[in-house]
Amino acid sequence: MFFLPGSSSLRHYDSNHSSLPLSMPQVPYYAVIFTSKRQAKEGDGYPEMAEKMDALAKKQAGFLGIRSVSEVLEESPEGYQLRSGITISYWKDEESIGAWKRNLEHLLAQQKGKNEWYLNYEVRVSRVEREYFGGLEGHGPIDEHRE
């Protein structure tokens, strides 16, 4: 999840990304939802910062995992891309989220994101009370439910 401004969010790659364990802890836990729109160009330093923040977040107490998707909305002849991203990071509790938000390296990355990369972004923190699993990809029994 690449949490520049306000959060991980920590990964915005060209493809979907997931670094969640096979099973999440028992609910409740917390989700930080980071949505963004940014102008990207090769060599802008964003992917490197995302990797650095990903590695750092994984070392934080209370970090549970991350899921991220990104898509190209437009491309210019000059090589710029307008990208949209959604990253959801999962945390044990609000204290863990607050500690990550205040991490000095993360604060510097947030500032760089605000000043150089993000056209806009939103951060939402939610408590996960229940979850459902299912589907054909083997994520668990069809319609498994945990509360």
Could you tell me the CATH number of the domain that includes residue 66?
Answer: 3.30.70.100
Residue 11 falls within a domain, yes or no? Answer: no
Instruction: Let me know: does 5 contact 113? Beta carbons within 8 Å.
Output: yes
In 54-102, the DSSP E strands lie at: 63-75, 81-91
User: What pLDDT score does 131 carry?
Assistant: 84
Token pair 């150089």 is at which residue?
A: 116
Report the domain count for the chain: 1
In a domain, residue 124? The reply is yes
Domain holding 127, by residue range, is: 17-131
**pLDDT recorded at residue 32:** 97
Residue 1 lies in a domain: no
- Which residues does 113 contact at the CB level (< 8 Å), separation at least 6? 4, 5, 49, 121
Q: Using CA atoms, how far apart are residues 130 and 18, in angstroms rounded to an integer?
A: 20
Residue 142 covered by a domain: no
In a domain? residue 66: yes
Does 86 fall in a domain? yes
Burial of residue 50 (number of CB atoms within 10 Å: 0-12, 13-18, 19+): buried
* Local confidence pLDDT in tens for the 147 residues of the chain: 333 333 333 333 333 445 555 456 788 999 999 999 999 999 999 999 999 999 999 999 999 999 999 999 999 988 899 999 999 999 999 999 999 999 999 999 999 999 999 999 999 999 999 887 777 776 554 455 556
Question: What pLDDT is stored for residue 79 in this prediction?
Answer: 87
Flag whether 139 is in a domain: no
Q: Which pTM does this prediction carry?
A: 0.77
Domain membership of residue 120 (yes or no) is yes
Secondary-structure breakdown of the chain: helix, strand, coil percentages, each rounded to the nearest 5: 25, 40, 35
